[in-house]
Amino acid sequence: MNTHAPLAADDLPIWDLSDLYSGPEDPKIAEDFVRGEKSVKELAKLQGQFVSARANPERLGLLIDQAAGLYEKAMDDMGGALAYATLASTIDRENARISKMQSDLGTQAAMISADSLFLSLELNQLEDWEIENALKVTPKAQKWRPWLRRIRASRPHELTPDLERLMLERMPAVGQWTRLFDETLTRLRAKVGKESLTLNEALTRLSAPQASVRKAAAQGLSVALKENAPVLALALNTLAFEKQVEDRWRKYEDPAASRHLANEVDKDAVDAMAEAVSESYANLSHRYYKVKAKVLGKKQLDYWDRNAPLTQDVQKLYTWAEAKKIVLDSFAQMGPEFAERAERFFDQPWIDAAPRPGKSSGAYAHPVTANRHPYVMLNFTGDRREVLTLAHELGHAVHQTLCQPLGSILADTPLTLAETASIFAEGLVFEHLVATASLEEKKALLAGKIEDGLNSVIRQIAFHRFEEKFHAARLEGEVALDQINALWLEVMGESLGPAIKLNDGYDVYWAYVSHFVHSPFYVYAYAFGDLLVSALMEKRRENPEAFTPLYRELLAGGGTKTYVEALAPFGMNPRDKAFWKMGCARLEGLIEAFEALV
């Protein structure tokens, strides 16, 4: 195992996107959009027929099957090009040509898709019993029941056809604020001594062994964020106002309601989880950071010490080959299929792991469409967290490949279940690492696992609370930069506790959390997934052989079941606050184990 220099980018895989398109000027992009437009025009010919067929269940069932098939074909035809634009821009954010392509394709897709708006509007004019009768007499239409369930869920929030078209056609313009946010963060450079660090490089240094390195990176990043905060705050405020207007027209009761609807999750379940977590702050984050401060010989940790390693010894760095073996061996514990599906991503150029200028920070797995393979992106530096990130994103990718037989419509998984496979995969890798660790390594692994749990549960619920407070303040008018900073310090102070000092400069750290702009109220899904996986890991421990087929069925089900239906075979009820307390208790158990070692 390498414990010295970081990996060179040349040692790491990068994407070859040519199996999608040869480049931004590939004529196949336009050809696929022409095919997509043709499918939408075929679909548009069905306009007006659904309501008129309400008295003929068999005719209505055939219309539903025909419409869903055309809609999915259009998604597949255009989805590859849209995914290509996203992937290409991820690894070359400063390329104006690619940025233009992404913007233009998004606009074009919105204009084409506008002709399909009638579909959900007409289906929602029908009564439940009329649709149910149609499905009963038309077997091949029954597969679309989950899709219809989602469409019906939006029924109380639909607008007139003209207004729905207006909303759709203006989306690309609204999306330019997200683009501004992203490009601002991509261009951001933190001055650290004589170096000029990207956002990802600066964030990576916050986990460096040396306190002086962490402090310099934190302060340099703070200065860079403060310089860009006015633009980032403007983007956040503008998009929040856009959301506010749409929510009012659609009669959503609160800013998070549309996200709950998209996730097919009850507000009560999310509130129960958030309350369970916030009530556990003292027993989890406050308790752990107090112990960590003691281990590091401090009364109070600076905010840049939050993810610091326990010692200043050089951190173990894993080579790419070592990381690959650890992940595949861990996946194999669930059976050969899981490892085989993951291994294909290493065998093919489907992973982009090399950090480099112009590439976005963070990590993700993009499913593209059900008739194409997913792609995995991360910025691999060789440390333990990046091995777990690799497992996380490959967990997503395996989940996405298991869903593919369902087709693009039904494979789409609500966020409440979408994080299950990824966090579960991390758990498998952690168990694998602990099993072969020395005492000192076990301390570091436990600390890392606890901190990952705190970041996924405590931190994400704090983010959720921040969003709640920000959007509530935005109802009263534009939220000034110093007010946003104050809200951030308030919620982070509550969640981190007295053992963490929120030094000058931390007040602008909200500005790099892109989820606030990309997907408002997305963040609670991480806590949902982490606590849910805690329960699933316990179920697996009880009976590994019986667990695996149930788990595979959950993943392969994609979006065909609600989270309540999907978890029923495991005997779990996520609407119960006690369920979430169980997940918090498992994290508390890890903290107790850590205390016993130190």
Beta-bridged to residue 365, according to DSSP, are 376
Q: How many CA atoms lie within 13 A of 327 on its CB side?
A: 31
Q: Using an 8 Å Cβ cutoff, are 369 and 79 in contact?
A: yes
pLDDT at 4: 42
Q: CA-to-CA distance for 355 and 380, rounded, in angstroms?
A: 7
Beta-bridged to residue 501, according to DSSP, are 302
Q: CA-to-CA distance for 155 and 147, rounded, in angstroms?
A: 13
Structure tokens at 457: 């549960």
pLDDT at 89: 93
pLDDT at 8: 55
Give the position of tokens 């599906």: 341
398 CB burial (10 A radius; 0-12, 13-18, 19+): buried
CB atoms within 10 A of CB 397: 26
State whether residue 361 is helix, strand or coil.
coil
Q: What's the chain's length in residues?
A: 598
Structure tokens at 545: 């052989």
Residue 61: phi and psi, rounded to 5, are -60, -40
**CATH number of the domain encompassing residue 88:** 1.20.140.70
Q: Using an 8 Å Cβ cutoff, are 40 and 112 in contact?
A: yes
- Which DSSP string corresponds to 214-264? HHHHHHHHHHHHHHHHHHHHHHHHHHHHHHHHHHHHHT-SSTTHHHHHHHT
pLDDT at 518: 92
Is residue 37, in this structure, part of any structural domain at all? yes
Is residue 564, in this structure, part of any structural domain at all? no
Residues with Cβ within 8 Å of 234's Cβ and at least 6 positions away in sequence, in order, are none
Q: CA-to-CA distance for 363 and 389, rounded, in angstroms?
A: 8
Is residue 59, in this structure, part of any structural domain at all? yes
Residue 365: phi and psi, rounded to 5, are -120, 125
Nearest to 366 by CA among 375, 355, 357: 375
pLDDT at 393: 97
pLDDT at 315: 67
Give Cα separations from 179 to 236, 239, 345, 484 (angstroms).
12, 12, 29, 21
Structure tokens at 563: 């989270």
Is residue 132, in this structure, part of any structural domain at all? yes
Residue 574: phi and psi, rounded to 5, are -75, -5
pLDDT at 562: 86
pLDDT at 325: 96
State whether residue 317 is helix, strand or coil.
strand
pLDDT at 10: 60
Is residue 55, in this structure, part of any structural domain at all? yes
- Which DSSP string corresponds to 493-531? HHHH-TTEE--TTGGGGGGG-THHHHSTT-THHHHHHHH
442 CB burial (10 A radius; 0-12, 13-18, 19+): middle
Q: CA-to-CA distance for 181 and 187, rounded, in angstroms?
A: 10
Largest separation between any pair of C-alpha atoms in the chain? 76
Count: domains in the chain: 1
Is residue 96, in this structure, part of any structural domain at all? yes
Is residue 339, in this structure, part of any structural domain at all? no
Dihedral sign (CA 572, 581, 492, 221): negative
Q: Using an 8 Å Cβ cutoff, are 487 and 507 in contact?
A: no
Is residue 337, in this structure, part of any structural domain at all? no
Q: CA-to-CA distance for 550 and 554, rounded, in angstroms?
A: 6
User: What does the pLDDT profile of the chain (598 residues) look like in tens digits?
Assistant: 444 444 555 689 999 999 999 999 999 999 999 999 999 999 999 999 999 999 999 999 999 999 999 999 999 999 999 999 999 999 998 888 998 999 899 989 988 988 998 999 999 999 999 999 999 999 999 999 999 999 999 999 988 988 988 988 888 889 999 999 999 998 999 999 999 999 989 998 998 889 999 999 999 999 999 999 999 999 999 999 999 999 999 999 999 999 998 888 888 889 989 999 999 999 999 999 999 999 999 999 999 999 998 876 666 789 999 999 999 999 999 999 999 999 999 999 999 999 998 898 889 999 999 999 999 999 999 988 899 999 999 999 999 999 999 999 999 988 778 889 998 999 899 988 888 888 888 888 899 889 989 998 999 999 999 999 999 999 999 999 999 999 999 999 999 999 999 999 999 999 999 999 999 998 998 898 889 888 888 888 888 889 999 999 999 999 999 888 898 898 887 778 888 888 898 899 999 999 999 8
pLDDT at 29: 95
Q: Using an 8 Å Cβ cutoff, are 449 and 430 in contact?
A: yes
Domain coverage including residue 38? 27-158
Q: CA-to-CA distance for 389 and 146, rounded, in angstroms?
A: 31
Residue 397: phi and psi, rounded to 5, are -65, -45
Q: What is the DSSP letter of 14?
A: -
pLDDT digits (tens, 9 = 90+) for 72-128: 999 999 999 999 999 999 999 888 899 899 989 998 998 898 899 899 999 999 999
